[in-house]
Structure 1
Amino acid sequence: MKRVLLNVSIMAVLLLGLGPVTARAAETDFSTWLAALRDEAQAAGIRDDVFDRVLAGSRPIEKIVELDRRQPEFVDTFWSYLGARVTPARVEQGRTQLQRYRDLLQAVERTYRVPPAVLVSFWGLETDFGGNTGQFRAADALATLAYDGRRGPFFREQLLALLQLVQAGDVAPDARASWAGALGQMQFMPTTYRAYAVDFDGDGRRDLWHSMPDVFASAANYLASIGWEGTRGWGEEVRLPGDFDYYLAGPDVEMPIESWRDLGVTRASGAPLEGTSGRASIILPGGVEAGPALLVSSNFRVIMAWNRAFTYAVTVGHLADRIAGRGPFVTPQRGDVVGLSRADVLEMQTLLGRLGFDTGGADGVVGSRTRDAIRDFQRTAYLPADGFPTSRLLDRLRLAAAE
């Protein structure tokens, strides 16, 4: 990987937020930062020879800062996100890999109680079944982001964890990673690697690049440790009654499945919700207009602990179902499938705030507070309160703000 020394303006504006500096001064500033990091590493028990092997010659990489700053111009709709990732080719490859590693995956399941198809689904989505584990040196990626002020403390912790992993012999000094420093075939951040990776093949090293026993067992150990319930699925598609109160939809509303049945919720086929128990939530990943409706268990929240993106969690579960032999969603794609730009979301948040609905600030990102604000506005406007942002909702907000 070719390392790029940041030019004067990029270093000043993106990294330090200072006035004009010379390239030599910028390099000196990074060297000073690195020297302070060495002191911290020594205090954490990291040897100087390990520090030097990993970080000697390291420099901030402009491309990584750009990737960290970059915001997509358009927000993927649920169906476009799902369709780009749960493709016939990926489902077929997932089924092939499921058979290829059947014995190993069953051994992992016996130990950690995580279904094989779920592990293969994560593997497929994270690195395309190991085909793309990253193009940057992990040390350079993490040093760049740790030196950068935006999320410096988080990535400083990750960089120190990487040094510990190298010292322990788990990770090579020149290991490749994603631009954010995620490692191996399951893309673990270094602190996750340090805490949850396991040596399942017994060779004395936790290798998430080349040892498939370690790859699958580490992912299963992580999921089990954060709450995966082996006897439960992640969720299923359901049909909602015509008088359903959409204010009840969302991961924060959890009720016994019997209660959902009493409200008229059925399986997608129309069959009653029988033979299932426990608590669950109704979610609408595409909103009321675009469907589908899903009844999700606590395991869905475990998937979201891996990655907080709502659509990612649904995609993991659905891809796992498809790999296991189940069919696509019954609900066809329909309704508003126009993606909103970041500027659209900013305008939506601004208008909601102007109308008295608290989004937690306008940042162009649809988080839980923005969804709650949308839901509250929808209820006052006598709209289905699904909390879902659409272009039609933005038009409605514009009209309401102009009144």
Structure 2
Amino acid sequence: MTGATLVAVTLLCPLQAHAQSSNGLSNLFGGIFSGSSPSPAQPAPGPGGAQPWSGEDGASGHPLMTAAAIREAAGNFDNCVASMWPDAARRNITQENFQRFTAGLAPDLRIMDLLDSQPEFTKSIWDYLDILVNDNRLAKGKEILAKYKAQFDATEKAYGVDRYIIAAIWGIESNYSTQMGDRSVLQSTATLACIGRRQAYFKDEFLSALEILNRGDLQPEQMRGSWAGAFGPTQFMPTAFKRFAVDADGDGRRDVVDNPADLIASTANNLKKDGWQSGASWGYEVVVPQGFNYMLADRAKAMTIAQWEKLGITRATRQPFPQPTDKAYLLAPAGAAGPGFLMLQNFRVIMKYNPAEAYALAIGHFADRLRGSQPFVQPWPRQERELSRAERLELQQLLAQRGFYKGTPDGQFGGQTRDALRNFQASIGAPADGFASSDMLERLRGR
């Protein structure tokens, strides 16, 4: 729901993944939310001195992300917005509302830096979980579950979606409505619809935002959120709002910002329509035996729980698996030195909400903690450090030199990099877990 189609997300770069998939997690890590730029053609501070556009070419190298292209498109911004009137009319937006809601729009060019951001350092999976699943958020989540018990009861009955998952999404996306972002959704989506490398995608988001306002579900002041247009406590993109938002209390409006009944039901409706299985878990923490073939730890290699058990996989809690016929895939986010997880269908559903495995793991674990479960049993390899971008780039280059990596080295780790690293690890007799440790970089350097 939060823009899963925007980027290919890697487990090793969860924070960038969340920012680029347009959810509110960037708020938790110093994301900047400024208003419009007074001069679209020049870097200028936003209201209150918010950070301006750098005025530099984007890191992606896309021709529409050069500084000259950005300035040229910004200079044509008014014409670009006006040119969308025929499309708006086809969506039954009145001309009066189109003019009212687009009057005074100006591009927020700082978004161009955020669209192409490539962080020098990333968070490890354990640091990421420590930040998102903490005692303060757990306490607040329990308060929310008690305060809105009637709404959660009604939603579970209507949609069959676990209340703890909904409460976890609410807590992690916006820290229970306290960190939703303060950029205008209209301004952000209009900027991205007219400037930069994702204009077609964001044109649909911008027109969908206008539809929401035209219908009267929300007011412009309610539609404030992330730089990519996600808004509300559970961070709906405008197109996702159109697909999933519901009027749970029958007041004639679908208010996912200030109406808890609509918010909870709409989030549940999203998960249900994405394939949520009622009464089922998202997955299990498991113990992976020594000498295990980590080439099997792949999202595309699902097997039944019973088949995994035959390979020596056991639950970390030592409890039996409740449904041996369930299909799951093995995730080893910290490699052989960390805990393993068997991921079920509901984990894949959470990943449709946001396509980072680290995010989905945080949601599932936070939901379990809200339910009363204990922290993960096995330790993380906290002695490991995340590689810098320069080191990630070097690792890909070294893998390419040895014939393992066929892509273009860019410092961003996806499935292709992990597969290449696994094959290298197998070639030297190391556990082929695809974990990019500093030790593995040293071994690549030494061959």
TM-score category, normalised to shorter length: over 0.9
Change (3 A) 1:26 1:50: same
- Distance in 2 (CA, whole Å) between partners of 1:375 and 1:60 is 44
Match of 2:120, SS state, is: coil
Q: How many residues align?
A: 397
Alignment pair present for 1:379 and 2:412: no
Asked whether the 8 Å contact 2:185–2:226 carries over to 1, the reply is yes
Asked whether the 8 Å contact 2:334–2:381 carries over to 1, the reply is no
Asked whether the 8 Å contact 2:126–2:382 carries over to 1, the reply is no
Please name the residue that 1:127 is paired with. 174
Alignment pair present for 1:154 and 2:188: no
- Distance in 2 (CA, whole Å) between partners of 1:365 and 1:137 is 29
Please name the residue that 2:6 is paired with. none
Change (3 A) 1:13 1:389: closer
Please name the residue that 1:257 is paired with. 305
Quick check: 389-398 or 117-126, which moved more? 389-398
Please name the residue that 1:347 is paired with. 394
Partner of residue 334 from structure 1, selected from 381, 394, 397: 381
What TM-score does the superposition give when structure 2 sets the normalisation length?
A: 0.84
Deviation at 1:310, TM superposition (A): 1.5
Partner of residue 3 from structure 1, selected from 26, 36, 46: 36
- Distance in 1 (CA, whole Å) between partners of 2:417 and 2:186 is 36
Counterpart code for 2:396: Q
Change (3 A) 1:360 1:168: farther
Asked whether the 8 Å contact 2:328–2:342 carries over to 1, the reply is yes
Provide structure 1 residue ranges, at least 5 long, that are not aligned to the other structure. Answer: none
Alignment pair present for 1:239 and 2:287: yes
- Distance in 1 (CA, whole Å) between partners of 2:91 and 2:393 is 42
| Aligned pairs (5 A) from 1:102-117 | 102-117=149-164
Deviation at 1:166, TM superposition (A): 1.0
Counterpart code for 2:96: D
Deviations 1:197-248 (A, max 9, x none): 1111111111011111110111110001011111210011111222321111
Please name the residue that 2:82 is paired with. 35
- Distance in 1 (CA, whole Å) between partners of 2:274 and 2:212 is 21
Counterpart code for 2:389: R
Deviation at 1:68, TM superposition (A): 2.2
Change (3 A) 1:13 1:348: closer
Alignment pair present for 1:370 and 2:403: no
Counterpart code for 1:354: Q
Asked whether the 8 Å contact 1:8–1:26 carries over to 2, the reply is no
Provide the alpha-carbon RMSD of the alignment.
2.1
Deviations 1:61-119 (A, max 9, x none): 13222222322221111100000111111111112211222221121011111111100
Please name the residue that 2:101 is paired with. 54
Deviations 1:114-158 (A, max 9, x none): 111100000000011111222111111111112222211111111
Alignment pair present for 1:88 and 2:135: yes
- Distance in 2 (CA, whole Å) between partners of 1:20 and 1:272 is 59
Change (3 A) 1:90 1:340: same
Change (3 A) 1:67 1:275: closer
Please name the residue that 2:66 is paired with. 17
Counterpart code for 1:6: P
Please name the residue that 1:195 is paired with. 243
Partner of residue 164 from structure 1, selected from 189, 211, 214: 211
Counterpart code for 1:141: S
Counterpart code for 1:165: I
Asked whether the 8 Å contact 1:79–1:337 carries over to 2, the reply is no
Alignment pair present for 1:280 and 2:328: yes
Match of 1:98, SS state, is: helix
- Distance in 1 (CA, whole Å) between partners of 2:364 and 2:384 is 21
Counterpart code for 1:396: R
Asked whether the 8 Å contact 1:133–1:184 carries over to 2, the reply is yes
Asked whether the 8 Å contact 1:197–1:214 carries over to 2, the reply is yes
Quick check: 34-43 or 191-200, which moved more? 34-43
Asked whether the 8 Å contact 1:255–1:281 carries over to 2, the reply is yes
Provide structure 2 residue ranges, at least 5 long, that are not aligned to the other structure. Answer: 1-33, 44-52, 59-63
Match of 1:334, SS state, is: coil
Asked whether the 8 Å contact 1:379–1:385 carries over to 2, the reply is yes
Quick check: 195-204 or 162-171, which moved more? 162-171
- Distance in 2 (CA, whole Å) between partners of 1:222 and 1:210 is 18
Deviation at 1:13, TM superposition (A): 4.8
Partner of residue 389 from structure 1, selected from 436, 439, 444: 436
Partner of residue 211 from structure 1, selected from 242, 254, 259: 259
Asked whether the 8 Å contact 2:35–2:108 carries over to 1, the reply is no
Alignment pair present for 1:227 and 2:260: no
Deviation at 1:18, TM superposition (A): 6.7
Asked whether the 8 Å contact 2:291–2:431 carries over to 1, the reply is no
Deviation at 1:8, TM superposition (A): 3.5
Match of 1:320, SS state, is: helix
Counterpart code for 1:34: V
Change (3 A) 1:249 1:18: closer
- Distance in 2 (CA, whole Å) between partners of 1:29 and 1:397 is 49
Asked whether the 8 Å contact 1:198–1:218 carries over to 2, the reply is yes
- Distance in 1 (CA, whole Å) between partners of 2:383 and 2:240 is 38
Please name the residue that 1:75 is paired with. 122
Counterpart code for 1:185: P
Partner of residue 323 from structure 1, selected from 356, 370, 373: 370
- Distance in 1 (CA, whole Å) between partners of 2:57 and 2:389 is 22
Alignment pair present for 1:181 and 2:229: yes
Deviation at 1:335, TM superposition (A): 5.2
- Distance in 2 (CA, whole Å) between partners of 1:19 and 1:275 is 58
Change (3 A) 1:13 1:335: closer
Q: Equivalent pairs: percent with the same residue?
A: 38
Quick check: 378-387 or 295-304, which moved more? 378-387
Quick check: 357-366 or 25-34, which moved more? 25-34
Change (3 A) 1:2 1:274: closer
- Distance in 2 (CA, whole Å) between partners of 1:381 and 1:292 is 23
Quick check: 268-277 or 337-346, which moved more? 268-277
